[in-house]
Structure 1
Amino acid sequence: MNSINAHWTGAFRVITDTEGWQHFRRLDPALLMSPATDGLENRATMGAGIRASWTASSGTLVLEAEGTADSSPFDVLVDGKLAHRVTAAGRVSYELALGPLKPGTSVQLWLPQFGTVRIREASLNGGGVQPVTESGKRWLTYGSSLTHCQQADGPSETWPALVANRYGWQLTSLGFAGECQLDPAAESTLQQLPADFISLCLGINSYNAAVFSERSYASQVLGFLANIRKAHPHAPIAVITPMVSLPREELPNAVGMTLRDYRDATAAVVRVLRERGDHGFHCVDGAAVFTPGEAAELMPDTLHPDNTGYRLMAARLGPQLAAVADAH
């Protein structure tokens, strides 16, 4: 019987402390500075998109972990289907029997997408257990809470996870709830990570926090995209404009911009880049993901989709992103 420890995918860095606990980081810390980026750093400790994969013919998943009170659950997938969903809040210890398995069955452990966890042990014990090195296109996706997906029932049901599983892509999720502000730390991380294609969902946090004005927003987006392009000269890049949020569409924020203004400015940057000859940039209209009626039904707080909403996001964004990923 083999016992294989988790090999984590989707993290920028995994840190093991002197007591043997593993901690996860989704951003390069070199450009973080307290207290200005404390919120972003907190989100970067959360495990959205981070998972371990094995194949096995039988097995028991052993998991010892500790999570903050706001943690989403762990998800265990067997052959791509949810087999176990268990709490991560507090100090937890599990031995999850996976039942009879066909030889070569895929087993995945997904870390909670929200809340901070540390891992003492994550291993699969059983027959024919082997670690898996993922193949498929390497996909970097950056965005706000709408990419972080706190409201999803579990980490395998965020829209990036659903899309990645559907198309067999290697996901790195850089969704940071409330903290998608075109930060240098995010830009640097996107530059350093390998990518076959990239998606960036921009604008909603800038509207909510009134971080950039009409003078500064488009210029900041332009520089952010141009610097990512320098690091990834051949990767197709999809820029997703803000999704519909009915109360915000025509309501000016503290710098006088509506959500529609941020959407139009984001699309304008992509148009300018294409006019200047970079046809590797593609604009995806976030306002077309939900109809106004669907937004009213599937966004209970007028901003964040519920679990059904994230599934619909995956169904509608997936084919558009697949077309970008296959673009030459």
Structure 2
Amino acid sequence: MHSEHDWITTPLTADLLRGALDVEHTEHGLLPHRLPARARAQNTNAQLAMAEAQPSGVRLVFRTAATAVELDTLRTKRDYTGFPPRPDGLYDLLVDGVPAGQASGTGGNVLTVDLATWAGGVTSGPVGTVRFTGLPARDKDVEIWLPHNETTELVALRTDAPVVPAPDRGRRVWLHHGSSISHGSDAASPTAIWPAITALRGGVELVNLGFGGSAMLDPFTARAMRDTPADLISVKTGINIVNADAMRLRAFGPAVHGFLDTIRDGHPDTPLLLVSPIHCAIHEDTPGPTAPDGEEIGKGRLVFAAMGDPAETPTGKLTLTVIREELSRIVEQRAADDPNLHYLDGLDLYGPQDAAALPLPDHVHPDAATHRHIGDRFHELAFRKGGPFAEEG
């Protein structure tokens, strides 16, 4: 620590956090969760357990005149067997809503994952410190967005001036659920995932339930959404169900209805936007499952391929084309009784024309530039005048 500051240590409590649905008290400190304990107890999937504990969209928010801030964290990085180490997770600093710095963590644990089996082993490491200095010496709202792709236990917060929880600015809360794309896979930083780009442009408070590999219409996720206060709700679903070859059309339609019904039990009139998958050439007309391309892995590249047989589509195997048609049909059917339910075609966020200019490097996930494109496009289609999330008046 820098000795020139008279440090004040502020206890880390849930009222300093935004975007988490639960916090777990660990031996080190606070672990933010994006699913409540009841939902976690019903989940047996290791990938979802990892994803919901990665704090995508979660930020520490407080008011202070401090010019220096230190945050001790214990991170868990993930690396993939046989691939180069992944880049360190980043922390984005915002001062009064304006980007004001970026830092990466140090130390921490490493979870090594075998992509073939999702089996993993953890190597322990020490607590690290993230430091921001040179902040303006006035009262201000400070936000530290946690790494979207690293499990992050919050150990200690130190500042050179007192900290209080930031006041409620009266912004609308946007609750969003989606896949790894919404989680922020391959985005540049936590405020550069597409939902954060949209939320910051739209002036709304984001609660991001984007879970890598895990937008599966899980009933426990629907119940978590039902029970979470929100002014705007969106559900982006389809690609993970194809990736895992998890359902056929017979099961998919009723599962969508059930998911929407559960959300409506808690939010009967809230604007609710159902979003279909963006363009993904390998799965437009070819069902799942999805698997890493073995030839490319041999070259040290992670690229995905579709393993299903298009000839099985008539028997109910799901492709993205089929899913978009079904989601559109469901919204049209329900809209007569639910005027606040809306549909957004994922191809309007990222379609074949966009893919020509901004290809998906691994055939499934957008890169940093494409996250910005999708975030800007979602803002334009959902939040602009006349859109389902537009401010009234």
Q: When the two structures are superposed, what TM-score results if normalisation uses the length of structure 2? A: 0.77
Q: 1:67 to 1:49 in 2, by over 3 A?
A: same
Question: Is it true that 1:119 corresponds to 2:183 in the alignment?
Answer: no
Q: How many residues align?
A: 324
User: Partner letter of residue 77 of structure 1?
Assistant: L
State the 1:227 CA deviation.
Answer: 1.3
Q: 1:302 to 1:89 in 2, by over 3 A?
A: farther
Distance 1:178 1:10 in 2: 20
Structure with max Cα Rg: 2
Q: Equivalent residues in 2 for 1:205-220 (5 A)?
A: 205-220=240-255
Match for 2:260 among 208, 225, 229? 225
Q: Equivalent residues in 2 for 1:139-178 (5 A)?
A: 139-178=174-213
In the alignment, is the contact (CA less than 8 A) between 1:55 and 1:130 conserved in 2? yes
Query: Partner of 2:355 in structure 1?
Result: 295
What SS does structure 2 have at the residue aligned with 1:325? coil
Q: Equivalent residues in 2 for 1:52-131 (5 A)?
A: 52-70=60-78, 72-79=89-96, 80-87=98-105, 90=108, 91-101=127-137, 103-126=138-161, 129-131=163-165
In the alignment, is the contact (CA less than 8 A) between 1:28 and 1:188 conserved in 2? no
In the alignment, is the contact (CA less than 8 A) between 2:73 and 2:155 conserved in 1? yes
CA deviation map 1:122-142 (0-9, x unaligned): 34433x754313430011000
User: Partner letter of residue 192 of structure 2?
Assistant: E
State the 1:206 CA deviation.
Answer: 0.7
Q: 1:312 to 1:89 in 2, by over 3 A?
A: farther
Match for 2:376 among 309, 315, 328? 315
CA deviation map 1:74-108 (0-9, x unaligned): 2212232141232356231133213334x333321
Query: What are structure 2's unaligned runs of at least 5 residues?
Result: 1-5, 79-87, 109-126, 289-307, 309-315
CA deviation map 1:20-54 (0-9, x unaligned): 51111111232445773332122111101111223
CA deviation map 1:178-211 (0-9, x unaligned): 0110112211110111011101101110111111
Q: Equivalent residues in 2 for 1:196-211 (5 A)?
A: 196-211=231-246
Distance 1:307 1:326 in 2: 26
State the 1:11 CA deviation.
Answer: 0.6
CA deviation map 1:100-123 (0-9, x unaligned): 34x333321011111211111134
Query: Partner of 1:133 in structure 2?
Result: 167
In the alignment, is the contact (CA less than 8 A) between 1:9 and 1:51 conserved in 2? yes
Distance 1:247 1:147 in 2: 19
Q: When the two structures are superposed, what TM-score results if normalisation uses the length of structure 1? A: 0.91
Question: Is it true that 1:326 corresponds to 2:390 in the alignment?
Answer: yes
Q: 1:288 to 1:326 in 2, by over 3 A?
A: closer
Distance 2:43 2:107 in 1: 26
- Output the aligned Cα RMSD: 2.2
Query: Partner of 2:47 in structure 1?
Result: 39
Question: Is it true that 1:305 corresponds to 2:314 in the alignment?
Answer: no
In the alignment, is the contact (CA less than 8 A) between 2:199 and 2:205 conserved in 1? yes
Percent identical residues: 27
Which piece of structure 1 moves more, 292-301 or 303-312? 292-301
Query: What are structure 1's unaligned runs of at least 5 residues?
Result: none
